[in-house]
Amino acid sequence: HWGYMTTNGPSTWGKDFPIANGERQSPIDIVTTAAEYDSDVLGSNALSTNYTPESEVKLVNNGHSIMCQITKKGVLTGGPLGKDEYRLEQFHLHWGAEDNRGSEHTVDGKMYASELHLVHWNASKYSSFADAVQKPDGLAVLGIFITPGVACNQFKVISDNCGKLKTSGAEMTVDTTLDPTLLLPSNTSDYWTYLGSLTTPPLFESVTWIVFKEPVEYSKEQLLALRNLVDSDGNHMQDNYRPPAALKQRKVKKTFT
Ligand SMILES: O=C(Nc1cc(S(=O)(=O)[N+](=O)[O-])cc([N+](=O)[O-])c1O)Nc1c(F)c(F)c(F)c(F)c1F
Ligand SMILES: [Zn+2]
Shortest-distance atom of ligand 1 to CA 240: 17
CB 228 within 8 A of CB 6: no
DSSP state of 112: P
State the alpha helices, DSSP H only, in the chain: 13-16, 44, 129-132, 156-159, 220-227
Give the per-residue pLDDT at 39. Answer: 75
User: Model ipTM?
Assistant: 0.93
Residues involved in catalysis? 64
Q: What is the pLDDT of residues 76-85, one digit of tens each?
A: 999 999 999 9
CB 47 within 8 A of CB 86: no
What letter represents residue 181's amino acid? T
Q: Could you give the angle at the alpha carbon of 111 between the alpha carbons of 105 and 114, nearest 5°? A: 75
Give the per-residue pLDDT at 159. Answer: 95
Q: Which residues pair with 194 in a beta bridge?
A: 209
Which residue has its alpha carbon closest to ligand 1 atom 21?
202
Give the per-residue pLDDT at 55. Answer: 92
Dist. CA 203–CA 8, nearest whole Å? 15
What letter represents residue 48's amino acid? S
Going by C-alpha positions, the residue among 151, 139, 209 that lies closest to residue 183 is: 151
Highest mean pLDDT among 1-5, 145-149, 160-164, 234-238: 145-149
Q: What is the pLDDT of residues 26-77, one digit of tens each?
A: 999 999 999 999 876 665 789 999 999 999 999 999 999 999 999 898 999 9
Distance 64 CA to ligand 1 centre (A): 10
Going by C-alpha positions, the residue among 145, 166, 120 that lies closest to residue 218 is: 145
Choose one of 200, 204, 210 to mutate for the ligand 1 pocket test, by most ligand atoms within 8 angstroms of C-beta.
200
**CA distances from residue 197 to 104, 108, 133, 208 in whole angstroms, order as listed:** 12, 20, 10, 8
Looking from the CA of 55 toward its CB, the CA atoms found within 13 Å total 1
Q: What is the pLDDT of residues 219-250, one digit of tens each?
A: 999 999 999 999 888 889 999 999 999 999 99
Number of Cβ atoms within 10 Å of the Cβ of 109 = 9
Nearby residues for ligand 2 (ion, Cβ within 5 Å): 117
Q: What is the pLDDT of residues 167-217, one digit of tens each?
A: 899 999 999 889 999 999 999 999 999 999 999 999 999 999 999 999 999
Going by C-alpha positions, the residue among 98, 78, 73 that lies closest to residue 88 is: 73
Give the per-residue pLDDT at 257. Answer: 86
Number of helices (H), then strands (E), belonging to the chain: the values are 5, 15
Which residue has its alpha carbon closest to ligand 1 atom 3?
119
CB 71 within 8 A of CB 56: yes
What letter represents residue 132's amino acid? A
CB 58 within 8 A of CB 173: yes
CB 1 within 8 A of CB 16: no
Give the per-residue pLDDT at 166. Answer: 83
Q: What is the pLDDT of residues 91-142, one digit of tens each?
A: 999 999 999 999 999 999 999 999 999 999 999 999 999 999 999 999 999 9
Which residue has its alpha carbon closest to ligand 1 atom 12?
117
Which residues lie with the beta carbon below 6 Å from any ligand 1 atom?
Answer: 62, 64-65, 67, 92, 117, 119, 133, 141, 198-200, 202, 207
The torsion angle over the Cα atoms of residues 88, 93, 94 and 98, rounded to 10 degrees, is 160
Answer yes or no: pTM beyond 0.90: yes
